Amino acid sequence: MIARTRFGTLAAAALAATLALAACSNEPAPKPTPTPTDEGSPLEALLQDYLGDWSNEDVTRQLVAMEDLVATCMAEQGFDYTPVDYAAMGLDLTGETLGLEWGSKEFAEQYGYGITTNPVLGEDAETPEDPNAEYVAGMTPTEQEAYYTALYGVHYAEMSDPRAVAEAGWDWRDLGCTGSAQNEVLSGDAAQQDQFAALQEEMTLMMEAAAADPRLAQVNADWAACMADAGFPDLAKVGDPEAALGAEVAALQQAAAAQIDPTVPTGPGSAEQVQAAMQEQLDEITQREIDTAVADAQCRADVGYDDARRAIDTEYQVQFLAEHRTEVQDWLESLNARRTQG
């Protein structure tokens, strides 16, 4: 059973994989002395140079190719899987119609963190139906767990938070058939994957080191105090509210899946009724999600978190590019060359 949260997350996660560096915060292009601006990070600047003109059609083409590979992979593991028809959905996967920066206060006011909302749906799109919902609803809870593990990997219960998916640094091998499909479509053949594997690993380590830099401790403490004053106590660092909400939604989805009786077509215990009840609970969470995200964005601005993170990320990225700029450019050129494939 896939609620709108999980369904929207998959599109966002696939996009995050396509634009692999888009999860970086906004810092300036490389300069001798890193100086925070609003122009974008050093790596993001390169991303825009090579991938900035990707359209919704380009990204959708990649998603369609991934879905076909997912279906093949799932069949090899003994499951039926109907590819999601992304081409028919009218999704806004590149922000062309959304016009909002993920994580901004304006985004938060409409979509919160994007956990129980659907920011990837275009203005004229309807909430999509999962073509595999009926098939999965007919499984026992144990079979459903096996199905989702095959599809999304061992982290499937954590995938309600799209930003967590983008920032977790999971290896594609940890993400089931979805991960293997993304890897094949985005990374090409084995030779291409081997060519850039070491670079991507070093890049992940660099971004993790920047996120853990001890200079962020004080600004995180200031942000937590601001959030407590706004009515959201017991938080330690930026990212905690999203993680908590994502875990709450994942637990809700798992509990709902366990309530489905595959032998009951309608009425209490049926997939339709359980799904409807869960959706009501998700709708109740949405306003809390929005309120939390708005306070989060305001507190980040009030304590200067984004500027502090921007400066630190820029410092790490400038150093990284000083050593790896040519490799990064070659990698991005490889990704861009695959834009029209699929």
pLDDT tens-digit map of 230-250: 999 999 999 999 989 988 988
Evaluate whether 186 touches 54 at the Cβ level (below 8 Å). no
Higher-pLDDT residue of 303 and 341 is 303
Nearest to 157 by CA among 144, 140, 138: 144
pLDDT of residue 142: 87
Dihedral, 292, 205, 101, 33 alpha carbons, nearest 10: 110
What is the arithmetic mean of pLDDT over 266-276? Answer: 81
Higher-pLDDT residue of 181 and 291 is 291
List, in order, residues 6 or more apart from 285 with CB less than 8 Å away: 116, 245, 248, 249, 252
Higher-pLDDT residue of 318 and 124 is 318
DSSP state of 130: P
pLDDT of residue 4: 34
Residue 152: is its pLDDT beyond 60? Answer: yes
pLDDT of residue 127: 57
The predicted-structure confidence for 88-110, as pLDDT tens digits, reads as follows: 776 666 655 567 777 899 999 99
pLDDT of residue 76: 96
Higher-pLDDT residue of 151 and 259 is 151
pLDDT of residue 14: 40
Q: 168: which 2 tokens? A: 């977790």
Nearest to 244 by CA among 232, 231, 228: 232
pLDDT of residue 167: 54
| Least confident span in 183-187, 292-296, 299-303, 327-331 | 183-187
Q: How far is CA 252 from CA 152, 164, 237, 281, 285, in A?
A: 18, 18, 24, 8, 11
Residue 263: is its pLDDT beyond 50? Answer: yes
Average pLDDT of the chain is 77
Q: Residue with structure tokens 């983008």?
A: 166
| Least confident span in 4-18, 261-275, 278-292 | 4-18
What is the arithmetic mean of pLDDT over 319-342? Answer: 81
pLDDT band for position 301 (50/70/90)?
very high
Q: How far is CA 95 from CA 12, 82, 99, 206, in A?
A: 11, 27, 6, 27
What is the arithmetic mean of pLDDT over 72-81? Answer: 96
pLDDT of residue 11: 39
Higher-pLDDT residue of 199 and 88 is 199
Q: 7: which 2 tokens? A: 């369904």
Evaluate whether 28 touches 40 at the Cβ level (below 8 Å). yes
Higher-pLDDT residue of 28 and 264 is 264
Evaluate whether 175 touches 328 at the Cβ level (below 8 Å). no
pLDDT of residue 140: 87
What is the arithmetic mean of pLDDT over 158-178? Answer: 63
Top mean pLDDT of 88-92, 156-160, 179-183 is at: 179-183
CA quadruple 4, 244, 222, 24: dihedral positive or negative?
Answer: negative
CA quadruple 92, 95, 97, 103: dihedral positive or negative?
Answer: positive
* Type of residue found at 312: I
pLDDT of residue 165: 53
pLDDT of residue 45: 78
Higher-pLDDT residue of 226 and 133 is 226
Q: How far is CA 265 from CA 74, 135, 279, in A?
A: 25, 12, 19
